[in-house]
Amino acid sequence: MKIVLDYLEKNKARYTRELCDYVRFPSVSAQPKHKKDLAACCQWLLKHCKEIGLEARLCPTEGNPILVAKTPRKKGSKKQHFVVYGHYDVQPPEPLELWTTPPFEPRIKGRSLFARGASDNKGQNLAHLKAVEAYIKTGTELPVDLTFVIEGEEEVGSKSLAGFLNANRDELLCEAVVISDTGMPALNLPALTYALRGILSMEIRLEGPNRDLHSGIYGGSVDNPAMALCQLMGKLRDKDGRVAIPGFYKGVAELSAMERKEFKRIPMNEKEYCEFMGVPKLFGEKGYTSLEQRTARPTIEINGLTSGYQGEGSKTIVPAWASAKVTFRLVPNQDPAHIRVCLLKYLEKICPPTVRMHVKVGHGGQPYIVSPTSGMAKAALKTLKAAFGHDPLLMREGGSIPIVTQFKKVLLADSLLLGLALPDDNAHSPNEKFSLDCFEKGMKMSALLWQELAKV
């Protein structure tokens, strides 16, 4: 292994430059104008994988292409097979004015590389590719067979990948899927994540008058869709942070005493946490700590509200319509299909007759939980300790990776979630960054992981 680790060490400056090239692509999957950039980013990955010595191909889909790259293997190889999953698409960078430097012009400051996608998820999946490069280029035999699957639609619900898994099931059957697309609390607190929240997204649009109306001439005699929407939204959550939709909490699994104890190992200072986010006071469901609230309890969030005049100065109107983009985060054992039915029923009941309501249900993903005590989990924990030099934590995460439940269903494979993102990496926010320490330690972790997993 020394030769592999030495190779990683010697080549780290070039690796950082390559990560800079990777993040230069504005591969924003939510915005149709970037379709070509997603294709170009995937082409870059393809070329890169071939240069590393992987057998790589690009699989077109109805959406963005999927990159598949395999380590060289003998026909009928008896080695264990693992899939490494990641995504090359990124979240929209807006609002642009809040970026210190442009989102797709990478900048290194100290030990951080700033760019949209640096940590979510390009830096994390590149770390795995680079570890394999070190094996191949030093002529070191990998103790396992690997197939990389890097997709371009994770940030919009992984629509094409589910079908792709079914169509390519035989090729992708594996012991487990290794994913670095979550976080770790600090550089000295590496973590194995064993649960993710699910998600259900929707857009609720209320339509009122057939055009914006003069609010002086008509206001008071016609309902205001923006006001009606606020009232509607206000009825979705109570003052204690609980979702107010009847049936919403059906099936919610409570935290075990063991989990609550393990969670307490994660350092938490309420004042610092408030300062970090810039809020005057925390908010959340009673009876749960902040960490529990944001990882193991379900929520509803408004992600965007639009209505009326948004330009400079004032415009006195009753807007014709108002719309809200909303997402739920779901926990084991909530079912997105059931939540959807409950929500639609409730909205129908509370929507006033003075507006017309249109609900567009968007992407969804089931919550995920896996045993943190399996042989593979133990191998992962051992690797984390060796790579980071600190005892790892067992964690739940509040974010979602919708495809993990499909990996389980279609490939019958659990996911090993070994996140490399730090809490201040600004995922989905302006000034996203990735720590070069996490990048380097992540490569080391990946290189060591295959040795440990081969022994399980």
120 part of the interface to Zn ion, by CB under 5 A: yes
Answer for which of 34, 81, 363, 444 binds ligand BES (CB under 6 A) is 363
For the chain, the C-alpha Rg in angstroms (whole number) is: 23
Helix (H) or strand (E) holding 176: strand 176-179
Q: Which is nearer to ligand BES, 47 or 265 (CB)?
A: 265
Cross-strand pairs, 305 = 324
Q: Give which of ligand BES, Zn ion, none residue 365 binds (C-beta under 5 to 8 Å, depending on kind).
A: ligand BES
Q: How many residues bind Zn ion (CB under 5 A)?
A: 1
Q: Are 195 and 397 in contact (CB under 8 A)?
A: yes
Do the bridges between strand 81-87 and strand 393-397 make them parallel or antiparallel, or are there none, so unpaired? Answer: unpaired
Which range, of 73-81, 152-160, 259-267, 375-383, touches ligand BES by CB under 6 A?
Answer: 152-160
Residue at token pair 């979630």: 417
Which of Zn ion, ligand BES, none binds 45 (CB below 5-8 Å, type-dependent)? none
How does strand 112-114 pair with strand 55-59? unpaired
Q: Does 259 bind Zn ion (CB under 5 A)?
A: no
Task: Give the Cα separation of 417 and 377 in Å (integer).
Answer: 9
Peptide bond between residue 333 and the one before it cis (omega within 30 degrees of 0): yes
Alpha helices in 320-435, H assignment, sequence order:
336-350, 375-388, 404-411
C-beta of 121 vs 323, nearer to ligand BES: 121
- Neighbour count for residue 410 (Cβ, 10 Å): 19
Cβ nearer to ligand BES, comparing 86 with 319: 86
When binding is defined by CB under 6 A, the residue of 112, 121, 299, 405 that contacts ligand BES is 121
Cα separations in angstroms, 56 against 21, 146, 204, 387, 411? 19, 12, 42, 28, 20
Instruction: Name which position in 151, 175, 181, 440 contacts ligand BES (CB under 6 A).
Output: 181
Q: Which stretch binds Zn ion (CB under 5 A): 10-18, 119-127, 198-206, 355-363?
A: 119-127
What is the nearest approach in angstroms of ligand BES to the Cβ of residue 258?
21
Tell me how far, at minimum, the Cβ of 308 lies from Zn ion, in Å.
30
Helix axes 12-23, 35-52, angle to 10 degrees: 160
CA pair distance 130, 12, nearest whole angstrom = 9
Regarding beta strands 107-109 and 112-114, do their DSSP bridges make them parallel or antiparallel, or are they unpaired?
Answer: antiparallel
157 binds ligand BES (CB under 6 A): yes
The residue within the footprint of ligand BES, chosen from 18, 120, 133, 425 (CB under 6 A), is: 120
Nearest distance, CB of residue 341 and Zn ion, angstroms: 27
Residue whose CB is less far from ligand BES, 307 or 405: 405
Residue 59 belongs to what H/E stretch? strand 55-59
Give min distance, CB of 150 to ligand BES, in A. 13
Residue 60: CB minimum distance to ligand BES, A: 22
Question: Is 183 an interacting residue with respect to ligand BES (CB under 6 A)?
Answer: yes
Residue matched to tokens 């390559």 = 18
Which residues in this chain contact ligand BES in the complex, by CB under 6 A? 120-121, 154-155, 157, 181-183, 196, 199, 363, 365, 397, 399-402, 427
Which residues in this chain contact Zn ion in the complex, by CB under 5 A? 120
